[in-house]
Amino acid sequence: MLIGLALAAVSMAPAQSVHMSLPPSVTAGSAFSIPTAGSGKAVLYIVGQGQAIRRDVQMGEATMFPAGALYNAGEYLAILVNGASTESAGFYVSPAPQPETLGFLAKPSRLPVGIRGGISGAVYVFDTYHNLITTPLPVSLELANASGTMQSHTITTRNGVAWTTMDSAAKEGPAKFVARIAGVSSTRVIDQVPGDPCGLTITARPNNGKVTVQTAPVHDCSGNPIPDGTIVTFTETYNDQQSTVDVPIKQGIARVDMPAYPGAKISVASGVVAGNEIRWGGGK
């Protein structure tokens, strides 16, 4: 209602000579004043960015606004109503220069090891009033892995935002992804897990009329053990017939009992990764 009445006053009354002096810019949350010229009583309205202020003023004096009066950054309109005379002018409220909080987005929260550029981080810098600080500022981003290795980048914000990418580590484990600027920091945790199995190998031995087939300890290509529960598929081919068994890894290996057909071919795979093949009773 206050904004509507103020704007209506501007549109209905003709502009007169300048009786107020506005600062070209006000820092969010800081105290400021608007001097006026002339004599008599008037009403001063300031509207914009979700805020509206009304002040009764004495012409010829400066109207004081305390710290915290205007805290949302953006464009504002000052309207001075002095009897039948109305004048208006705009000014800008800029973000406070000191960072107070960081909006830090890091993704993904979980990924395999050894992914180049697989981790991304974006930092948004805000002042104490939650205004985005658009002046360029240096932001430090560090990714510290559980193995002790670290990556660090220093990026200058552009329009309040800085972003970068990092590589996931060669070894599994949680990594702390930290953004810092001017004593303010924010931390995210990235869970780095083993990649796909690598170098799958199986051995076979007779077992009470069957053949027991088991893998060697299953690791990814960086040597990280593949977690228990990961599925390994065993395939047996005999006389143009094929049977498959899905077995979860337990204590680092997968094991299964299969029919002991002489000359049968037994192979292993996990996902798209294939291992070696054994011909039972006929060598490898």
pLDDT tens string 74-124 = 999 999 998 878 999 999 999 999 999 999 999 999 999 999 999 999 999
Spatial distance between the Cα atoms of 86 and 78, rounded to a whole number of angstroms = 11
Spatial distance between the Cα atoms of 58 and 44, rounded to a whole number of angstroms = 10
Distance of CA 142 to the CA centre of its chain: 14
Q: In the chain, what percentage of residues exceed pLDDT 70?
A: 93
Spatial distance between the Cα atoms of 148 and 169, rounded to a whole number of angstroms = 10
**pLDDT bucket at 19, cuts 50 / 70 / 90:** confident
CA-CA-CA-CA torsion sign (122, 125, 128, 131): negative
Residues 29 and 67 sit within 8 Å (Cβ to Cβ): yes
Q: Which fold has domain 101-193?
A: Immunoglobulin-like (2.60.40)
Q: In the chain, what percentage of residues exceed pLDDT 90?
A: 81
- Average pLDDT value for residue range 207-216: 94
In this model, does residue 1 exceed pLDDT 90?
no
In this model, does residue 16 exceed pLDDT 80?
no
- Average pLDDT value for residue range 3-23: 56
In this model, does residue 279 exceed pLDDT 60?
yes
Spatial distance between the Cα atoms of 50 and 70, rounded to a whole number of angstroms = 10
Identify which has the larger pLDDT, 104 or 19: 104
What amino acid occupies position 105?
Answer: L
Neighbours of 241 (CB within 10 A): 9
Establish whether the linkage from the previous residue to 108 is cis, with ω within 30° of 0.
yes
**pLDDT bucket at 282, cuts 50 / 70 / 90:** low
pLDDT tens-digit map of 233-244:
999 999 989 999
Say what the pLDDT of residue 96 is: 93
Say what the pLDDT of residue 10 is: 45
CA-CA-CA-CA torsion sign (9, 52, 133, 97): positive
Say what the pLDDT of residue 179 is: 97
State whether residue 144 is helix, strand or coil. Answer: strand
- Matching CATH topology for 2-94 and 197-279? yes
Average pLDDT taken over every residue of the chain: 90
Q: Helical H runs in 57-160?
A: none
Neighbours of 181 (CB within 10 A): 21
Spatial distance between the Cα atoms of 181 and 185, rounded to a whole number of angstroms = 6
pLDDT tens-digit map of 258-276:
999 999 999 999 988 999 9
Say what the pLDDT of residue 78 is: 95
- Which superfamily does CATH assign the domain made up of 2-94 to? Immunoglobulins (2.60.40.10)
pLDDT tens-digit map of 137-157:
999 999 999 888 999 999 999
Supply angle C-alpha 221, 222, 225, rounded to 5.
85
All structural domains of the chain with their residue ranges? 2-94, 101-193, 197-279
Say what the pLDDT of residue 116 is: 94
Q: Which CATH class is domain 197-279?
A: mainly beta
Structure tokens at 196: 């796909």
Spatial distance between the Cα atoms of 93 and 29, rounded to a whole number of angstroms = 9
